[in-house]
Amino acid sequence: MNQSVVQLRGITKTYHIGRDITVNALRAVDLDVGAGEFVAIMGPSGSGKSTLMNVLGCLDVADGGTYLLAGENVGKLSDDKLAGIRNKHVGFVFQTYNLLSRLNAIENVELPLIYGGDRHARRQRALAALEQVGLGDRIHHRPSELSGGQQQRVAIARALLNDPSMILADEPTGNLDSRSSAEILAIFQRLNEAGKTVVMVTHEPDVAAHCKRIVRMRDGLVARDELVPHPRRAEDEIAAGIGAAE
Amino acid sequence: MKLYDSFRSALQSLVVNKLRSALTMLGVIIGVAAVIAMVSVGNGASASVQATILNLGSNLVTVQPQFGNDQGLKGAGAQAQNLTLDDMRSIQNQLGDGIAAAEAEQGTGRWQVTAAGQNWNTQVTGVTEDYPIVRDWKLDSGEFFTTSDLNVNAQVAILGTTTAQNLFGDADAVGQTIQLRQVFGGDRGGGRARILNFRVVGVLTTKGSTFGFSRDDQIVVPLTTAQHVLTGRLNIVNSIVIKATSSDTMDATTSDVNNILLQRHNISDPASADFTVTNQNDTLAALSSVTGTFTLLLGAIGGISLLVGGIGIMNIMLVSVNERTREIGIRKAVGARRGDILTQFLIEAVALTGLGGVLGILLGWAITEVVHRIPQAASLPLLITSGTVIIAVGVSVAIGVVFGLYPAMRAARLHPIEALRYE
């Protein structure tokens, strides 16, 4: 682990539901993610992993503590500043893909560049990203014309476009069959081997087993943080026909 | 975010919801078309009234006797005096080159006219020699009578084209003789008929009608002839009409005429003048304020439909923002700022209203063309001015901004997490 991408210190987040009920979603979370790591965040419902994911992705700000993202303190930034940070540093991959249905694949991939970054060669870069996830031949297809796995690959291409500091994936395989899941995980592993930092929220141990490190959340705290000695290789599983068997 | 991208995504979403966009736009189209059509009808009516007034001659200052309600009370004191030919001559002499021309008129009523076996009934008016200049009315053939004709009460006549046509058909009227007759006494056959011969010396050009009365069906004769031969009402004229040199000098001419007549009639208090001086500019101003109000009213009716169209835009934009909450969340997640979202939805609203505005102008234009085909309105010059078009487009774009702003702000303020969770 060299230079730190994410550095959380004493992060707290409290929600108020109605007038009386307060939920301490995060209670003093400390977490470091170094460049080039592949981390899974696990935990049961209500453990705070979604809140942590929102804070990590700068979709939400913590109530207390400090958060350095790529060395920048993003704790108390305005909405528009946070939008800029998301654009530059975070590539999101969601469980439900979250593609714009009326745009085709390449237009979806181009989206982050509309809002920031280098506008030149937008099309070429989007094309390169799509080729990287193996969809170079589907660039003019609408999301509705693509399978779930293909849609998720478009979403990954979109996440890659601005060359973010971190790819943040929220249950990326949650809606996919095991064959497609394995393909998506293979892409993440390939990207990680090429040096990308990947943080993935999941509740499936099988999926988490592909990561290099697993952080387990419980009751708003990091309960366990351990390295995976021998991460499973998605490529090997595809070769062995795991997906095909199901 | 580049404006180009905003435009592209705005247009894309309009194209995706074709029917909805078209129906929403219809409100604006109808509103703009209504404004255009209504205002052009209003402008047309106003121009038509203006043209009618100017048809009587331009830059005119008219003097008429004042028939005040209090006239009877003046009793033996200062008796109201008639306007006379001398009043007119005096104005002519005193103002000289300060005015373009002046003339005096006396109506003599309707006469039965016969010529070449044809019978016609028409209006006969006594006028003075500068009548053609004052009224901007040339002769088609022949010559107008002169001061020497006035001096000798010559029985010469100038015919309007309709009158000439009815009496002489296509034949040349100039040089022919017409007979004016008036029957006295009530009893049929028992009355005495006066028959007066007049020589036709000229025919006026066609002028058209004023407020529905044909000006081409009349006969004009020398004022003195009218006074001495036709009516016997000597030393009285119904009106004196002065043509000012230009529209700018009309006010000065009006006050000059007023002063000359006050002096001639020995009236010290202008309020008790026994005549009124009417400035054509004032008449035009009064009429154009009436037609202006009319146009404004019509425009307001159109404006209300435009407002309703605008509310339709707001409604559909709110639906659209609601429907696309998730899209807004996605855009925010990949880095869209509030301003980016605001611009996108605002441009969408403005594109709807702007396009609606352009189509509305075309529809409005089509409506005026159709109105033009209606015979009763054919004479109405329907004016679509560039001003109307610019205002219509400007207003429809402004409506897009005004009614699109609130939905766009709602979109921009959405929290990315909540927007992404929205199902």
Do A84 and B335 make contact, defined as CB atoms within 8 angstroms? Answer: yes
**Backbone φ and ψ of B419, nearest 5°:** -65, -40
Q: Which of A29-38, A216-225, B71-80 has the lowest mean pLDDT?
A: B71-80
Q: For position B390, what pLDDT does the model report? A: 86
pLDDT of residue A76: 81
Confidence bin at B77 (pLDDT 50/70/90): very low
Instruction: Among B79-83, B289-293, B378-382, name the most confident range.
Output: B289-293
d(CA B226, CA B155): 9
User: Does B339 sit within 8 Å of A80, measured CB to CB?
Assistant: yes
pLDDT digits (tens, 9 = 90+) for A153-194: 999 999 999 899 999 999 999 999 989 999 999 999 999 999
CB–CB contact B2 A158 (8 Å): no
Q: What is the pLDDT of residue A102?
A: 87
Q: How far is A113 from chain B (nearest CA, A)?
A: 9
Residues A80, B329: C-beta atoms closer than 8 Å: no
State residue A245's pLDDT score: 38
Residue pair B43/B387 in contact (Cβ under 8 Å)? The answer is no
Residues of B in contact with A158 (CB under 8 A): 334
Whether the per-residue pLDDT at B80 is higher than 70: the answer is no
In chain B, which residue's Cα lies nearest the Cα of A103?
A: B12
Considering only CA atoms, give the Rg of chain B.
34
CB contact under 8 A, A59 and B2: no
Cross-chain CB nearest to B336 (options A83, A92, A98):
A83
**What is the value of ipTM here, to two decimals?**
0.93
Question: In this complex, is the C-beta atom of A239 within 8 Å of any C-beta atom belonging to chain B?
Answer: no
Section A1-10 average pLDDT: 82
Give the span between the Cα atoms of B209 and B397, in whole angstroms. 43
CA gap A79, A58 in Å, rounded: 9
Phi-psi group of A65: left, alpha or beta (phi > 0 → left; psi -120 to 50 → alpha; rest → beta)? left
Mean pLDDT over all residues of chain B? 85
pLDDT confidence of residue B75: 45
Percent of chain A's residues with pLDDT above 70: 96
Q: Do A79 and B338 touch (CB under 8 A)?
A: yes
Mind telling me how many Å the CA of A72 is from chain B's nearest CA?
Answer: 17
**Overall average pLDDT of the B337-352 stretch:** 91
- pLDDT at residue B379 in the model: 64
Q: pLDDT digit string (tens) for A189-217?
A: 999 999 999 999 998 999 999 999 999 99
- Once rounded to an integer, what is the mean pLDDT over residues A137-153? 94
Half-sphere exposure of B75 (CA within 13 A, CB side): 2
Is B124 or B68 the better-scoring residue by pLDDT? B124
State whether residue B264 is helix, strand or coil. helix
Tens digit of each residue's pLDDT (9 = 90 or more) over B39-56: 888 888 788 777 777 777
Query: What domains are defined for chain A?
Result: 35-61+79-245 (3.40.50.300)
Give chain B positions within 8 Å (CB) of A162. Answer: 335
Q: Half-sphere exposure (CA, 13 Å, Cβ side) for A29?
A: 36
Q: Do B334 and A79 touch (CB under 8 A)?
A: no
Per-residue pLDDT tens for B187-223?
455 556 678 899 999 999 888 766 667 788 999 999 9
Residues of A in contact with B1 (CB under 8 A): 114-115
pLDDT at B71 over 50: no
Cβ <8 Å between A80 and B337: yes
Q: In this predicted structure, what is the pLDDT of residue B97?
A: 87
DSSP H or E segment with residue B210: strand B209-210
Q: Is the CB of A98 inside 8 Å of chain B's CB atoms? A: yes
pLDDT of residue B49: 79
A92, B340: Cβ pair inside 8 Å? no
Reading phi first (left if > 0) and then psi (alpha if -120 to 50, else beta), residue B311 is in alpha
Number of Cβ atoms within 10 Å of the Cβ of B115: 22
For residues B236 and B141, the answer to whether their CB atoms sit within 8 Å is no
**What is the pLDDT at residue B76?**
43
The per-residue pLDDT for A154 is 96
Residue B393's CB is within 10 A of a number of other CB atoms, namely 18
Q: How far is CA B373 from the centre of its chain?
A: 20
Of A54, A80, A88, the CB nearest to B338: A80
Please enumerate in sequence order all residues whose Cβ is within 8 A of that of B41, keeping only pairs 6 or more positions apart, or say none: B298, B368, B371, B377, B380, B382
Residue B109 pLDDT > 70: yes
Q: Is the pLDDT of residue B418 over 70?
A: yes
Interface of B with A (CB under 8 A): 1-2, 5, 12-13, 16, 326-327, 329-340, 416-417, 420
Q: How many inter-chain contacts (A to B, CB under 8 Å) are there?
A: 61
Q: According to the 3-state scheme, what is the secondary structure of chain A?
A: CCCEEEEEEEEEEEEEECCCEEEEEEEEEEEEEECCCEEEEECCCCCCHHHHHHHHCCCCCCCEEEEEECCEECCCCCHHHHHHHHHHHEEEECCCCCCCCCCCHHHHHHHHHHCCCCCCCHHHHHHHHHHHCCCCCCCCCCHHHCCHHHHHHHHHHHHHCCCCCEEEEECCCCCCCHHHHHHHHHHHHHHHHCCCCEEEECCCHHHHCCCCEEEEEECCEEEEEEECCCCCCHHHHHHCCHHHHC
Report, as an integer, the average pLDDT of B343-353. Answer: 90
Among the partner-chain residues A84, A98, A116, the one whose CB lies closest to the CB of B420 is A98
pLDDT surpassing 90 at residue B322? yes
Three-state SS for B278?
A: strand
